[in-house]
Amino acid sequence: MLAKLFITLAHLSPGVKRFTWLRLYQYLARNYPTADWTFMNYGFQPGDKSETPVLDEEDECNRYFIQLYHYVATGANIEGKQVLEV
């Protein structure tokens, strides 16, 4: 029921969608503080498994999130540049 309400609110207008997502992120960050929670973004699974980065075992639980950053960062030459993640 809450999921349907969230989806309905998100589809009303871009402003309502932004407001709803902002409040949800703030709620989650405030009410679920944990050291294990490193990422609050979507993940990525490449179609070709050979494109997946090699990770340390302790990073495997965050594989999809790390793969998203890897995919975006390898799409452009960022060597020597400052990168801001928003």
pLDDT tens for each residue of 32-68: 877 777 888 888 988 887 788 999 999 999 999 999 9
Task: Give the structural domain span for 45.
Answer: 39-78
Which residues, including other chains, have CB under 8 Å from residue 41's CB and lie 6 or more apart? 65, 68
45 shares a domain with 27? no
Overall number of domains in the chain: 2
For the stretch 65-77, pLDDT in tens is: 999 999 988 888 9
23 shares a domain with 54? no
49 shares a domain with 19? no
**With left for phi above 0 and alpha for psi between -120 and 50, is residue 80 left, alpha or beta?**
left
Is the residue at 84 inside a domain?
no
43 shares a domain with 16? no
- Contact of 70 with 53, CB cutoff 8 Å: yes
Indicate whether this model's pTM tops 0.95: no
